[in-house]
Amino acid sequence: MNEQQRKDMSQIRQVNPEEATSDKNNLNRLKEKSSEDFMKYFETTYQPPNMRDAQRRKKKETDVHYDFTIPEDMDQSGKGKKYMIRTYGCQMNEHDTEVMAGIFEEMGYESTSDTKEADIILLNTCAIRENAENKVFGEIGHLKPLKMENPNLIIGVCGCMSQEESVVNRILKKHPFIDLIFGTHNIHRLPQLVKEAMFGKEMVIDVWSKEGDIIENLPRSRKGKIKAWVNIMYGCDKFCTYCIVPYTRGKERSRLPADIIQEVRHLAAQGYKEVTLLGQNVNAYGKDLDLEYGLGDLMDELRSIDIPRVRFTTSHPRDFDDRLIEVLSKGGNMLDHIHLPVQSGNTDVLKIMGRKYSREEYLELVKRIRKSMPDATLTTDIIVGFPNETEEQFQDTLSLVEEVGFEAAYTFIYSPRENTPAAKMKDNVSMEEKKDRLQRLNKLVNEQSAEAMKQYEGEIVHVLVEGESKNNEEVLAGYTKRNKLVNFRAPRSSIGQIVPVKITKAKTWSLDGEMVEASVEVK
């Protein structure tokens, strides 16, 4: 660790999840008569979402609600109207969009992908890196003329960016034509919020910087009929020093096993072929429940459900236990693909990132996984250019990528996020250097991916057929158990089925093949 890094380390304020919470900043709506009153209100009374409150963790118990209903006065209020939701960010956000779509449809709205046709447009935003936020502000700018043309159009901003104080302030000051801002804890209030936005004169703001509850019986309008997402937990308590998610998503809270199992059973009965269990840190599943029940136990129960594929994301190496490895190695609908974000291959950098494992511990875990699941495919996430990362430390990341043999990786340049501990660190690595490191890392990852793909040439794999390929409607596409994208010719009747495909050509990120009638040996 160099001197600057040691200094940064000593200044990281460890978050104490037990700290008292002050829930006083329940932001409700701003509804004033004139813009002068509004500015007065804004300066004196208005309380933005508060990152300090958002990092507090006090409540041990999570409130679970099973009583969601559309208020009577909003029931069918969307008849003859259309909604559009634009989604940014991770699967969690994609799935939240399915929930909001479900609520809109219960209110009688129909979906549209044409902004000109929409009566209400929501941007479901992501705050993970600066460029994610820039995209959203760009889109807000594009929507302004639409609002000018059609003042009855409701435009809303929701998702992770809404949980940030600076974002809410910027929208208030620079984009006052936005009608509605609400956060990740308030999705179930969508009907009431739409009503307030429709009938009120000022911007409606509903953002709670709180730990979060669980609302069980929300409707969902799922995007597909083949693959489905299932939340198993919400929030994150890891507080990696660079990351904004624990502030935008609240505390770690697990759904009860029975609720998850019932949802998966229901999906299986509807004919879904694959579920992906969702959480920011799924390996911590169950730790907040008084049940002695973890992700391994949950997966073991899901093994007996008649659904061909069960995936989960995202794993945190720290909480990945042997019970889970044991269950995954039983095969069946448990898949041998594990996405295991490492972030860096250097122990000192991992320490300053607050990841709570060392390079050696990560490699040891990989060894344990490989021992029980020799064919497992491992993929990862990596951040380059963390503040003061040295060339040697970056070399450790390259060597770890080689040593583990990752077959794919999402790679990012570190992006400072407001109010996180890392954002306060002085940084001596230039952007030019960071970009160069990203390029060198991507080159290695691409080589490894291509090499892994090559091994499939001539093999027969089982592909869950999802539909037409992106670039050619005569070609179908789907994924193997190990998450390899395959493009191949087959009758359209195979969509939604798992079919054997012989691989004819390997590319860097995908495989080409032909469907075969019967499989002999399948990879």
Binding site for ligand SF4 (CB under 6 A): 236, 238-240, 243, 245-246, 280-281, 316
Partner touching 93 among ligand F3S, ligand SAH, ligand SF4, none, CB below 5 to 8 Å by kind: ligand F3S
What distance in Å separates the CA atoms of residue 338 and residue 501, rounded to the nearest whole number?
23
Contacts of 7 (CB under 8 A, 6+ apart): none
Contacts of 350 (CB under 8 A, 6+ apart): 343, 344, 357, 358, 359
| Residue the block writes with tokens 């989960």 | 312
Answer for which of 56, 185, 220, 249 binds ligand F3S (CB under 6 A) is 249
**DSSP H stretches of helix in 405-490:** 431-454
Confirm or reject binding of residue 320 to ligand SAH (CB under 6 A).
Answer: no
Partner touching 417 among ligand SF4, ligand SAH, ligand F3S, none, CB below 5 to 8 Å by kind: ligand SAH
Comparing CA positions, the residue from 295, 190, 156, 183 lying closest to residue 249 is 183
What distance in Å separates the CA atoms of residue 211 and residue 209, rounded to the nearest whole number?
7
Give, as ranges, the residues between 247 and 286 that touch ligand SAH (CB under 6 A). Answer: 280-281
Pick the piece of the chain touching ligand F3S (CB under 6 A) from 85-93, 137-145, 191-199, 441-449: 85-93
Q: Of 194 and 409, which has the nearer Cβ to ligand SF4?
A: 409
Partner touching 239 among ligand SAH, ligand SF4, ligand F3S, none, CB below 5 to 8 Å by kind: ligand SF4
What distance in Å separates the CA atoms of residue 20 and residue 7, rounded to the nearest whole number?
28
Confirm or reject binding of residue 316 to ligand SAH (CB under 6 A).
Answer: yes
Q: Of 143 and 278, which has the nearer Cβ to ligand SF4?
A: 278
Partner touching 74 among ligand SF4, ligand SAH, ligand F3S, none, CB below 5 to 8 Å by kind: none
Partner touching 501 among ligand SAH, ligand SF4, ligand F3S, none, CB below 5 to 8 Å by kind: none
> Is-cis flag, bond preceding 276, omega within 30?
no
What distance in Å separates the CA atoms of residue 117 and residue 81, rounded to the nearest whole number?
9
What distance in Å separates the CA atoms of residue 296 and residue 282, rounded to the nearest whole number?
10
Q: What letter does residue 502 receive in the DSSP assignment?
A: E
158 is in an annotated binding site: no
Answer for which of 245, 307, 342, 366 binds ligand F3S (CB under 6 A) is 245
Q: Which residues of 259-273 are buried (b: 16+ CB within 10 A; e: fewer)?
A: bbbebbeebbeeebb
Answer for which of 160, 307, 398, 441 binds ligand F3S (CB under 6 A) is 160
Shortest Cβ distance from residue 343 to ligand F3S (Å)? 14
Q: Of 282 and 299, which has the nearer Cβ to ligand SF4?
A: 282
Confirm or reject binding of residue 75 to ligand SAH (CB under 6 A).
Answer: no
356 near 330, Cβ under 8 Å?
Answer: no
Q: Of 160 and 334, which has the nearer Cβ to ligand F3S?
A: 160
Shortest Cβ distance from residue 238 to ligand SAH (Å)? 7
Q: Of 246 and 294, which has the nearer Cβ to ligand SF4?
A: 246
What distance in Å separates the CA atoms of residue 183 and residue 324, rounded to the nearest whole number?
33
Answer for which of 112, 221, 399, 415 binds ligand SAH (CB under 6 A) is 415
Answer for which of 84, 157, 243, 461 binds ligand SAH (CB under 6 A) is 243
187 near 170, Cβ under 8 Å?
Answer: no
Q: Of 333 and 380, which has the nearer Cβ to ligand SF4?
A: 380
Partner touching 246 among ligand SF4, ligand F3S, ligand SAH, none, CB below 5 to 8 Å by kind: ligand SF4
Alpha-carbon torsion 26, 32, 35, 41, what sign? negative
Q: Of 50 and 280, which has the nearer Cβ to ligand SAH?
A: 280
Q: Using H for helix, E for strand and C for coil, what is the string for 45-107?
A: CCCCCCHHHHCCCCCCCCCEECCCCCCHHHCCCCCCCEEEEEECCCHHHHHHHHHHHHHHHHC
**Secondary element (H or E) of residue 139:** helix 130-149
**DSSP H stretches of helix in 158-256:** 165-174, 190-199, 245-249
Partner touching 87 among ligand F3S, ligand SAH, ligand SF4, none, CB below 5 to 8 Å by kind: none
Answer for which of 54, 127, 325, 383 binds ligand F3S (CB under 6 A) is 127
Q: Of 182 and 386, which has the nearer Cβ to ligand SAH?
A: 386
160 is in an annotated binding site: yes
**Secondary element (H or E) of residue 300:** helix 295-302
Confirm or reject binding of residue 343 to ligand SAH (CB under 6 A).
Answer: yes
Shortest Cβ distance from residue 342 to ligand SAH (Å)? 9
Partner touching 272 among ligand SAH, ligand F3S, ligand SF4, none, CB below 5 to 8 Å by kind: none
Shortest Cβ distance from residue 125 to ligand F3S (Å)? 7
337-339: strand order across its sheet: 337-339, 377-384, 408-413
The number of angstroms, rounded, from the C-alpha of 181 to the middle of its chain's C-alpha atoms is 20
What residues line the site for ligand F3S (CB under 6 A)?
89-90, 92-93, 126-128, 159-160, 244-245, 248-249
Annotated binding site for [4Fe-4S] cluster: 90, 126, 160, 236, 240, 243
What residues line the site for ligand SAH (CB under 6 A)?
128-129, 242-243, 245, 280-281, 314, 316, 341, 343, 381, 383, 412, 414-415, 417
